[in-house]
Structure 1
Amino acid sequence: MNFTKFLNMLRIKKSISIDLGTANILIYDKQKRKVVLNEPSVVALDKKTGKVIAVGKDARQMLGKTPDSILAIKPLKEGVIADLDVTRQMLNEFIGKIYGASLFKPEVMICVPLEVSSVERKALFDAVSGAKKVYIIEEGRAAIIGSGIDISKPNGNMVVDIGGGSTDIAILSLNEVIASKSIKIAGNTFDDDIVKYIKNKYSLLIGDRAAERVKKTLGTAIKKDNPETMEVKGLNLLIGSPDSITISENEIYEAIENSLYKIVNATKDVLEKCPPELASDILDNGIVMTGGGSLIHNFTDLLEKETKVKVFLSDNPLDSVVLGGGLAFDNTKLLHTLQMKEN
C-alpha cells in the first residue's frame, strides 16, 4: 500500500449505530448503509481466566449446555448493561469481527431504553471507550426514525417499541420526546410466561430457546377459533425424564395475556399524557409498532381495539431501532439534543 492511499484511509470517517439489545446486538454501518451484524447478546467465558471463548450465535448454542469450566451469560438485562467488562469484551469482539484490526476510531450511536439512569449511561459510554465520539439516543426516538417517519416537523407521532428486555412507548414532535414510558415487559417476558405456563399446566420444564420458538410460532394476542398447534419437548418433572406435549395458540395466548395487556395499558398511559394540540396528529398518523415483540400475531389489532387509534407495523420492525440510530447522524439538530461524549 502506498503512502497516499494510507493517508486517504486515515481520513475516512466511520459512523456506526449499535442497538444494544437484551436479546440481540445489531450494528449498522452508515457508510455501507446496511446492518453489518445481527447476533445474540451472549458471551461464553472461561471461568478460570475470564477469557472470551465465544460470542453471539456460537455462545448462544452453549446456553444451558456448558461444562463447569465455561460460563455462558447474557451481559445485558432489561436493555441495560448488567456486566460492563463482559459487555465491553463482547462489543470489541463483534467490532473486530466486522472491521478487523482497524486504525479508525468511529463515531458510535448507542440506542438505549427511554428511562436509563445516569449510572447506566456512564456504563454505556465506557463500554465503547475506543470510539472517537459516542452518542446516546433513546430507542423510541431511533425506532420511529428507522420506520421512515420524519420527527423534525411540528407534528405528533407515536411509537411502541417492544424489544427483548423493555418496551418503550413515546410521543414525539420536533425531534423531541414529548411524553413517554418504559416498562420491563417485552419479548423475554413472553418467553418467561410460556416457560411458567407449560411448567404449571403440564409439569414440563422447557428452556428459554424452546420458549422463544413457541412464541414465534404460536404467539397470538387474540384467541383463535381454529388454533394451530405444535409439539414441545422438555423434562417431565413428575417422572424425571424427557417428554413432549402438544400445545395450541390459545394456550400461548393465556400464557402471555397478562403481559400483553401491561403493554396495552402502558400505551394508554402515554396517550393520556398527550398534549391536546398533538392528539389530533396521533389520530391521523396512528401508532407505529416496532421490535421483535410487535411480531406477536394480531398484536396490532389488539392495540388498535383497546386504544381506538389505528396501529400499523413498521416495515422493518426488527431493524428499525438500529436503522434510526444510523439515520440520526444525518440530522444535525437532533444530534444537538443527544447526550454525547468525545474521547
Structure 2
Amino acid sequence: MFASSELGIDLGTMNVRLFSQTKGLLFDEPAAIAYNRQADKLMAIGQKAKQMIGKAPAHVEVTYPLRNGVIADFDQAKALLQQVFKQSSRQLGLSFKKPSIVMSVPFHATSVERRSFYEIAKHCGAKHIHFIEEPVAAAIGADLPVGEPVANVIVHLGAGKTEAAIISFGGVVACQSLRIGGNQLDEDIMQYVRQRYNLLIGEQTAEQVKIEIGSAPGTSLTQPMTIHGRDFVTGFLKAVSLDPAEVQQAIKESLLQIAEAIRSVLEECPAELSGDIIDRGIVLTGGGALLHGIEQWLSATLHVPVHVAPNPAEAVAIGTGKALQAIPKRLSTAL
C-alpha cells in the first residue's frame, strides 16, 4: 500500500495533484481526459490528453471535467481520479489500498458540490474523506501560521476562479470568490487577437502567450512573440507578431476585477487584525501568481505588501497533504 495512509488531493479546474506527506507530490498533470467515443473507451489523461486538444480526430473528445473549481461532469471526473490513483500507485511500485483522503474544495462550494467530490472519492476507493477549504489548504501549503491569532491573507489565483481570504485561528474570517482566473485571461487574449488581427488561435496558444509575455499593468516586457493561427475572414493560415503591451491591455480588465475582489476582502477585515495585514501583507498562490509583475502591481494597487508563495502552483496540494496534522479541527467529512 502507499507508505502513508493519508493523501491530499487538489482536483482543480486545469490540474490535478496528489500529495503524500511522506512521498511528496505523487502526481501533477493537467486535469484533462481524452475519450474515444467510437470505441467507447478512455484514451488518455493528464499531459497526454492535453496534447490532443485541437489536434485529435472528431471522435476523440478531450475535456476538463471541472469548471470554476467544481465538478461539471461526474463520470469523467471519476474516471480521471481513478486513473490518477492507478498511475501514482504504479509509478511507486506499490499496490493501492483504501487511504484516508484530504480533498480541497472551494470555500463557497454548496452541499451538492461537496457531495459530488465525496462520491467521486468514494468510487475511487477512499476509506475516509475529509474536506478542507481551498484558501486554508493554500495557506498551509505556503507555510503560513494559520493556527495562530494573526491575520493571514491568502489569494489563490486558480485557473477557473480566484479566492481571496483572511485566515486566523485556523478558520476563514472573510472570503471573496470570483469566477475569473487563468482561463479567463486566456479567453481575453483569444478575443483580443480575434478582434485586432482577425486571427483565430487555440486555448493552448493563448495560454503560452500568457505565460511568456503576459503581464500585469506597469510591467515593462519588450520581447514580442510570434503566434500562428487562421484568418477567420480569408481562412488562410497566417503569423502575427504580438507585443507584450497588447497582451497586458487585453487582460487588464480581468486583473482589475481580481484586485477589486481582494480589496473587498481587506475591507471586511476586523480592526484587531488590520495591523497584521499591514505588517505581513498578502500571499499569492496558484498558477496566476506566476504572471509577470502581478506581485508588484497588486502591492501598488492595494497599498499593502504582496508576496508570492515558494511553490505557488503546488500550495493547495501541499496543504491538503499536511492538513490532518496542521488543523484537524477545520477538517470535515462530507455530509
For Structure 1 versus Structure 2, the TM-score category normalised by the shorter chain is over 0.9
User: In the alignment, is the contact (CA less than 8 A) between 2:18 and 2:28 conserved in 1?
Assistant: yes
User: In the alignment, is the contact (CA less than 8 A) between 2:138 and 2:285 conserved in 1?
Assistant: yes
State the distance in 1 between where 2:96 and 2:310 align: 35
Matched, 1:183 2:178: yes
Cα displacement (A) at 1:224: 4.8
152, 167, 175: which one aligns with 1:157: 152
RMSD after superposition? 1.6
List per-residue Cα deviations over 1:46-69 (Å, max 9, x = no partner).
Answer: 214542111111111111222232
269, 278, 282: which one aligns with 1:283: 278
Cα displacement (A) at 1:226: 5.9
User: In the alignment, is the contact (CA less than 8 A) between 1:140 and 1:160 conserved in 2?
Assistant: yes
Matched, 1:168 2:158: no
37, 44, 50: which one aligns with 1:54: 44
Alignment correspondent of 2:85? 95
92, 106, 109: which one aligns with 1:113: 106
List per-residue Cα deviations over 1:256-292 (Å, max 9, x = no partner).
Answer: 0000000000000000100000001111111001111
Change (3 A) 1:222 1:261: same
State the distance in 1 between where 2:289 and 2:10 align: 17
State the distance in 1 between where 2:183 and 2:221 align: 27
List per-residue Cα deviations over 1:96-150 (Å, max 9, x = no partner).
Answer: 0111483511111111222111111000001111101111111111111111111
User: In the alignment, is the contact (CA less than 8 A) between 2:4 and 2:21 conserved in 1?
Assistant: no
- 3-state DSSP class of the match of 1:195? helix
Amino acid at match of 1:56: G
Cα displacement (A) at 1:336: 2.5
List per-residue Cα deviations over 1:160-199 (Å, max 9, x = no partner).
Answer: 1101111110000000000001111001110000000000
User: In the alignment, is the contact (CA less than 8 A) between 1:29 and 1:326 conserved in 2?
Assistant: yes
1:294-313 to 2 correspondences below 5 Å: 294-313=289-308
Change (3 A) 1:293 1:103: closer
Change (3 A) 1:131 1:192: same
Matched, 1:25 2:16: yes
State the distance in 2 between where 1:68 and 1:24 align: 24
Matched, 1:250 2:245: yes
List per-residue Cα deviations over 1:197-232 (Å, max 9, x = no partner).
Answer: 000000000000000000000111124556221101
Matched, 1:335 2:328: yes
User: In the alignment, is the contact (CA less than 8 A) between 2:185 and 2:210 conserved in 1?
Assistant: yes
Alignment correspondent of 2:260? 265
Give 5+ residue unaligned stretches, structure 2: none
- 3-state DSSP class of the match of 1:128? helix
- 3-state DSSP class of the match of 2:87? helix
- 3-state DSSP class of the match of 1:284? helix
**Would you identify which runs of 4 or more consecutive aligned residues in structure 1 move more than 6 Å?**
none
Cα displacement (A) at 1:329: 1.8
List per-residue Cα deviations over 1:282-320 (Å, max 9, x = no partner).
Answer: 111110011111111111111111111110111111111
User: In the alignment, is the contact (CA less than 8 A) between 1:107 and 1:132 conserved in 2?
Assistant: yes
State the distance in 2 between where 1:185 and 1:218 align: 19
Alignment correspondent of 1:37? 27
State the distance in 2 between where 1:341 and 1:287 align: 30
Q: Identity of paired residues, percent? A: 35
User: In the alignment, is the contact (CA less than 8 A) between 1:113 and 1:166 conserved in 2?
Assistant: no
Bigger Rg over Cα: 1
Change (3 A) 1:231 1:87: same
Give 5+ residue unaligned stretches, structure 1: 1-8
Alignment correspondent of 1:14? 5
